[in-house]
Structure 1
Amino acid sequence: MDVAAMLGRRIWGAGSGAVAPDGQFNLLRWFSLVSLVIIGTVAIGIGTVSTRFLVSESLERDAMLSAQFIQTLALGEMRHHGLEGMEMGDVLVPHHYGMLTHSTAQSRERARSEFLDHLSHVPDSLLATIFSPDRTVIWSTNPDLVGQRIEDDDALDEAFQSGGRISAEYQDVEEGRVKQKFLRPPKMFFIENYIPLTDADGEVKAMVEIYKEPVDLIDRVNRGYRMIWLATAIGGLLMYFGLYWIVRRASLLLAAQQAQLVANSTYVGLGEMSSAVAHSLRNPLASIRSSAELAQEMDGPQVRKCVDDIITQVDRMSAWVRDLLLCLRPLQGDSEQVDPMEVVHTTLGNFDHQLSKSAIEVEFSDIATPRVVSHQLLLAQVLNSVVANAIEAMPNGGRLSVTATPDTSGEWLHLTIKDTGKGMSRQQEMMAFKSFYTTKQGGLGIGLIMVKQIMERFGGKASLTSRENEGTSVCLSFKVAEHAA
């Protein structure tokens, strides 16, 4: 285990520009911070622009409707009283009265009176005022304003100079402003509308100024505010978490690929080293065994015992070398459709003598299962390793159960091999699939790592659960062949 870790660190640091894991750029952390700032800024900007657009459009729409109402009302009054050809602006401004017949004068006065009466009852109105071209108040719902001349009012001057264009402003009450002497104070904000009354040549004869507190419009704007900001917040959060999920998946995938790259580099270096050691040991081991076999034919019990020990140790060393080379060489064999129950049956048959000798009871139901993606010989190697470990865990007998369970989707087949042996501690369970980790005396610790490599080679998975004094359960998950195709 120490050799593998040392070799892995050496290979990791050998590349040009290699960085230790603690000093690596944390993609997920920086993305979460930067994307949160960018998406938050964009969302706030969109929300601000949208709400301003909502208010602007609402005010313009309200001003246009108010102007249409006032201008239509003025035109209707003129027609109603038989004053076609005249303009309401001339009727409203007193000094425009000329030499008229008594009947025409009365009609003009009635038209003016009725128009002003309608104007004073405009819904949601706080104050209605009519200005002459010289900025003098000729009529107002607040009588105290009548006759006053308004000086230095940029908004009023701009309205007269606009040539008949309707204007609207979103305002708050300004202290000391003469025009804003309302009959009742506004509850929130108000809208100031300038509605020109022009003659046939487009010249402004009078300017109607209406301060309105449109309660319905305010409610609609507030609902629009809430909907815009809610939609912006939800959209921003969905975008953030969607991108975060994608980058997180990418980050995990990159981390896994990086870890796999380091592991592959480690195994390549370890394989080269082990191959050199193995080839160097083979010939001496062969000579030792040959000499021991010759000495075995000599007389004397002590000689024979020593020779037997030499042969036993040589056989053990040979087995180590064989297993080490088998573990480190690349897996050979293309995937094929395999009947797992057939391989399980063959494997248990091969261990029949050892199972009987160890007084181990086997529970195995040879049921029909779908064919899986694997390799016949490599699957046999996997099962041989798992069953051998189970037998070694039950030296005093026990029960070995083998069950096959398809999952509900039908895409996977789970083969569980469970023993009632001594089990493992939590730490041993976590280290079970680590290279060269073993709890057996004289073992190399490569059996389960081979199982894991072979299963993953064909798209499967291997997992292990264990409890001390209760036993160990190994689960082999295979892809069902018909779904994999």
Structure 2
Amino acid sequence: MEKRKIGEAGFARGVRDGETGWATKDVVLEINHNSRTYIFHHLLKILEQEPDVQIKSLLIERLHEVNSLRFISYMRGYLMVKDNQIDTLHQQKISIMGQMAAGMAHEIRNPITSFQGFVQLMKQDLMRGNFDPETFLQYLTICQEEIKVLEGLVSNFLILARKNETVNKQLEMIRLQPILERINQLSKHFVIEKDVNLSFCYNGQKKAVWGVASYIEQICLNLIKNAVDAVGVRGDVRVTAVDDAPSEQVVIEFTDNGCGIAEERMKHLFEPFYTTKEKGTGIGLSVCKQLIEEMGGQINIRSTVGTGTKIEVRLQMART
């Protein structure tokens, strides 16, 4: 009965320590070795006063048995928890790989289908002798656009795949105003269909940051598109850039009065392939976060359902 209780206590302690993750396996082994050495060292000192050799031998044997039982039971509990954690992580990785494969296949299929359709139309026209240069040029233009979509998808997946790797592009001092003016021009086609009010405000200051111009452009266009998708007809989307002198950062804010984001969804926003949009890929915000962090910045999101969303992109200020 006593041995069973010792084993159960050791097993329970191993499970508890494994779940809390307070120490690695190597640390546990080192602690066990040191505690055994300490205990036997002091026991031998105590037994120096014991004349009966048989009693000494029995005490040492009993102590060794108890310590071994406790340690073996502890490691069984500890390793059981770690095995379960490894299995869970493995299943999560398999699930993520499945999501990646499904997402990649779905997003690539659409432009490829369009590309194949227009190639087939051109082939049929040629076979029928209905060659119209203007129509062919229109078809080829559409095919080129679909190829650009594919290139963008592949680039985004590669950005996610190189997470935690060193950024390949050198950070440089960049003036924000010319980039924001270009973004303003590029984003106009986002708002035409829904008749959204899009405004930019730079406060008349010549702001400069450390970053990569193409990254900043991609981030801003992505966040503006998300904001436009979130608002209704004649909704408001505003982009502002302000200096935060105490933190030595420049803050680019994207504010909309759209549907907002539910609290339970907020914690998943930066997960790859998580999306609340019917036609979304779920990689836009993940890519934005990756690029921002590569430039040494941060992204913060505040949102209220039915009121709107504000996203802050914080980049390192560059002194001119």
Q: Distance in 2 between matches of 1:441 and 1:283?
A: 20
Aligned to 1:346: 182
| Cα distance change of structure 1 residues 271 and 318 upon mapping to structure 2, 3 Å threshold | farther
1:425 counterpart = 2:259: no
Q: C-alpha displacement at 1:476, in angstroms?
A: 0.2
Q: C-alpha displacement at 1:354, in angstroms?
A: 3.5
The answer to whether the 8 Å contact 1:320/1:444 transfers is no
| Cα distance change of structure 1 residues 442 and 355 upon mapping to structure 2, 3 Å threshold | closer
Q: C-alpha displacement at 1:324, in angstroms?
A: 3.2
CA deviation map 1:154-192 (0-9, x unaligned)? xxxxxxxxxxxxxxxxxxxxxxxxxxxxxxxxxxxxxxx
The answer to whether the 8 Å contact 2:190/2:225 transfers is no
- Counterpart of 1:421 in structure 2: which amino acid? G
1:327 counterpart = 2:156: yes
Q: Distance in 2 between matches of 1:473 and 1:439?
A: 17
| Cα distance change of structure 1 residues 22 and 350 upon mapping to structure 2, 3 Å threshold | farther
Aligned to 2:78: none
| Cα distance change of structure 1 residues 319 and 346 upon mapping to structure 2, 3 Å threshold | closer
Q: Distance in 1 between matches of 2:283 and 2:295?
A: 19
Instruction: Identify unmatched segments of 5+ residues in structure 1.
Output: 1-20, 35-261, 300-313
Aligned to 1:8: none
Q: C-alpha displacement at 1:370, in angstroms?
A: 3.0
Aligned length: 216
Instruction: Identify unmatched segments of 5+ residues in structure 2.
Output: 1-16, 32-89, 129-142, 160-166
- CA root-mean-square deviation: 4.4
- Counterpart of 1:409 in structure 2: which amino acid? P
Aligned to 2:291: 454
* Match for residue 380 of structure 1 among 217, 242, 262: 217
* Match for residue 22 of structure 2 among 19, 26, 29: 26
| Cα distance change of structure 1 residues 296 and 23 upon mapping to structure 2, 3 Å threshold | farther
Aligned to 1:403: 240
Aligned to 1:237: none
Query: What does 1:38-53 correspond to in 2, within 5 Å?
Result: none
Query: What does 1:60-459 correspond to in 2, within 5 Å?
Result: 286-294=115-123, 321-330=150-159, 332-366=168-202, 367-409=204-246, 411-459=248-296
Query: What TM-score does the superposition give when structure 2 sets the normalisation length?
Result: 0.55
Q: Distance in 1 between matches of 2:144 and 2:268?
A: 28
Q: Distance in 2 between matches of 1:325 and 1:460?
A: 24
- Counterpart of 1:339 in structure 2: which amino acid? R
| Cα distance change of structure 1 residues 271 and 433 upon mapping to structure 2, 3 Å threshold | closer
The answer to whether the 8 Å contact 2:99/2:273 transfers is no
Query: What TM-score does the superposition give when structure 1 sets the normalisation length?
Result: 0.38
Counting aligned pairs with the same residue, the percent is: 18
SS where residue 454 of structure 1 aligns? helix
Aligned to 2:301: 464
Q: Distance in 2 between matches of 1:317 and 1:352?
A: 20
Q: C-alpha displacement at 1:438, in angstroms?
A: 0.7
Q: Distance in 1 between matches of 2:177 and 2:271?
A: 28
Aligned to 1:225: none
